[in-house]
Structure 1
């Protein structure tokens, strides 16, 4: 039976997974943006488009390197949700 406690646990677990997957993509781009900003501050080059390409490339590289893990992690979660749904309904 789907009680409020079970529903809250499902939502918390889903938010936890979303945070992990987003952090895997956002943190490398954040670090690359910070490094580019430091170089721009040191050289006094204030070009806004200069910081976009490195962040984009790092984010794409993060997707390439962790995409298989992220999709497997999400698929495992979906399988567990469907397995739990069978026990919650009947």
Structure 2
């Protein structure tokens, strides 16, 4: 067994997880920043005001990116399954 193969798979997995998480989190962060700027400009100090827009944007990002994310995960899984004979032999 080649240790470099495991390191490569782990590196690819971390990259894929980072990409999938950032596709969901970044839109939520942008909306949270816009709501925070709005709250600071209007002096509204309601904590629950930023929750609903961030929730809706996160759900929308999941809905629009689900097909792409699932395809990326399936491609990664297929690649790992195809590499099993190389790692073992």
TM > 0.5: yes
Contact map agreement 2:27 2:58 (CA 8 A) in 1: yes
Name the TM-score, length of structure 2 as normaliser: 0.96
Paired with 2:55 and 2:15, the residues of 1 have a C-alpha distance of 25
Counterpart for residue 48 of structure 2 = 49
- Between Structure 1 and Structure 2, how many residues are aligned? 89
Q: Are 2:5 and 1:16 aligned?
A: no
Paired with 2:85 and 2:30, the residues of 1 have a C-alpha distance of 43
Task: Report the aligned-residue RMSD.
Answer: 0.8
Paired with 1:38 and 1:57, the residues of 2 have a C-alpha distance of 18
Unaligned runs of 5+ in 2: none
Structure 1 stretches of at least 4 aligned residues deviating more than 4 Å after TM superposition: none
What are the residue-to-residue correspondences of 1:1-90 with 2, within 5 Å? 2-90=1-89
